[in-house]
């Protein structure tokens, strides 16, 4: 409590400065540890074996930098804009260090965005929520040790949520339109945006913005390499050459019953339709609506990786300090996700083969429990400025 009283006396500028300094110090320290210890990565040398996607990111960005075409000149199973963003670190170096710095910058952006997002409710809550996101193991592990694109996606997922909360829905539509082609997850926010729109002319405007941006982004690929371009849709929707990740669909269905891609897709579409229909009637806040949608999607979608959980964790951090029930569920979920990570590939399935099934079922139970608790909890991040106290 003494610490909270001292923080309460800090100015907004000081809190922001502390967040920036801590983020830089923590990421710099971990990069040094990784460089000279964990993966023995040299600053400008060969890529570490544990950073399995780094070579793909760099190769795709180098293809664009050479003036070649994604999908046609290099096999790509991701939307195009993420490769354009990765041109920035690749232009300096295709080394692990360059990407670590770039992804760490996006972690900083998310930390500051989280602070700004809920500062109008309770500045102390905003500060400690941002700190919590910084100290969640998945945040730094994703940017430094495994080098995945989730720090970028987490920022572009949280940004339209914040803009919708601030009633800047047209700006949110623009970010959703761009975010879909960075990584498809912001598409989950589109129905919530339409639910929050008050009139049909608003809905049509926002649909037009997202459709127009999407058309402009994909038009060159539709013209020049349509078959190759749409391969990544199959990869994300129904899977390709097996299912990887940590979902129950992978461990409890695919490993024993086979692909079942169309069945899982039908369940996903039907289940998410029910969730959105309920949200339309329930009239929950933007923050809670997005959190419920993510938890439901992670239950229903077959290709879920541990690093994807950064998206709901960014939204869960303020509830950690407002509701004890959400707090323990959140940390239990983190423990289960980390425990499932060794089984994400093919390694480890021969040892205790039922363990990932049990853990993935437990993860579903925790996600369902979180949804129930979020719906029933009186604490909220409302769609307007207010003054609230952090629950004890």
For the ranges 163-177, 230-244, 320-334, the lowest mean pLDDT is seen at 230-244
Segment 168-182 mean pLDDT: 97
Is position 195 within any domain?
yes
The 10s digit of each residue's pLDDT in 334-379 is 999 999 988 886 655 566 678 888 999 999 999 999 999 999 999 9
Is position 383 within any domain?
no
pLDDT band at residue 42 using 50, 70 and 90 as cut-offs: very low
For the ranges 25-29, 204-208, 220-224, 246-250, the lowest mean pLDDT is seen at 246-250
CA angle 382, 383, 387 (to 5 degrees): 50
Q: What is the pLDDT of residue 385?
A: 60
Q: What is the pLDDT of residue 261?
A: 66
Whether residue 257 is predicted with pLDDT greater than 70 in this model: the reply is: no
71 sits in the region (left: phi over 0; alpha: psi -120 to 50; else beta) called left
pTM: 0.92
Is position 48 within any domain?
yes
Is position 81 within any domain?
yes
Number of domain units in the chain? 1
Q: What is the pLDDT of residue 50?
A: 63
Is position 381 within any domain?
no
pLDDT band at residue 250 using 50, 70 and 90 as cut-offs: confident
389 sits in the region (left: phi over 0; alpha: psi -120 to 50; else beta) called beta
Whether residue 297 is predicted with pLDDT greater than 90 in this model: the reply is: yes
What mean pLDDT value characterizes the chain?
89
> Regarding predicted confidence, which is higher, 320 or 51?
320
Is position 276 within any domain?
yes
Whether residue 391 is predicted with pLDDT greater than 90 in this model: the reply is: no
Is position 307 within any domain?
yes
Is position 382 within any domain?
no
Q: How far apart are CA 335 and CA 370, in angstroms?
A: 15
Whether residue 264 is predicted with pLDDT greater than 70 in this model: the reply is: yes
Residue 354 belongs to domain spanning: 2-376
């Amino acid at each position: 409590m003494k610490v909270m009283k001292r923080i309460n006396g800090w100015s907004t500028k000081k809190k922001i400065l502390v967040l920036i300094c801590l983020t830089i110090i923590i990421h710099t320290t971990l990069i040094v540890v990784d460089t000279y210890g964990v993966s023995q990565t040299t600053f400008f040398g060969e890529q570490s074996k544990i950073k399995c996607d780094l070579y793909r990111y760099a190769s795709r960005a180098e293809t664009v930098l050479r003036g070649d075409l994604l999908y046609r000149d290099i096999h790509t199973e991701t939307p195009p804009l993420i490769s354009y963003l990765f041109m920035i670190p690749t232009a300096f170096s295709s080394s692990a260090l360059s990407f670590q710095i770039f992804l760490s910058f996006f972690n900083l952006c998310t930390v500051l965005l989280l602070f700004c997002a809920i500062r109008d409710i309770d500045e102390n809550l905003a500060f400690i929520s941002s700190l919590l996101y910084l100290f969640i193991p998945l945040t730094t592990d994703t940017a430094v040790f495994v080098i995945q694109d989730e720090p970028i996606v987490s920022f572009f997922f949280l940004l339209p949520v914040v803009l919708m909360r601030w009633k800047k829905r047209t700006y949110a539509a623009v970010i959703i339109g761009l975010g879909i082609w960075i990584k498809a997850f912001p598409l989950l926010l589109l129905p919530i945006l339409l639910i929050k729109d008050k009139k049909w002319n608003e809905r049509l405007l926002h649909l037009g913005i997202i459709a127009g941006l999407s058309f402009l982004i994909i038009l060159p690929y539709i013209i020049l390499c349509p078959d190759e371009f749409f391969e990544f849709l199959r990869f994300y929707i129904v899977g390709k050459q097996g299912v990887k990740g940590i979902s129950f669909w992978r461990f409890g269905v695919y490993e024993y019953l086979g692909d079942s891609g169309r069945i899982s897709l039908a369940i996903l579409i039907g289940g998410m339709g029910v969730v959105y229909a309920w949200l339309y009637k329930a009239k929950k806040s933007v923050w809670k609506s997005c959190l419920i949608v993510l938890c439901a999607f992670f239950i229903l979608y077959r290709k879920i990786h541990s690093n994807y959980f950064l998206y709901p964790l960014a939204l869960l951090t303020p509830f950690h300090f407002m509701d004890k029930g959400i707090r323990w569920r959140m940390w239990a979920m983190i423990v289960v996700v980390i425990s499932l990570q060794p089984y994400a590939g093919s390694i480890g399935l021969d040892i205790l083969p039922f363990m990932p099934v049990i853990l993935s079922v437990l993860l579903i139970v925790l996600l369902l429990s979180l949804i129930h608790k979020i719906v029933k909890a009186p604490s909220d991040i409302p769609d307007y400025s207010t003054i609230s106290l952090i629950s004890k």
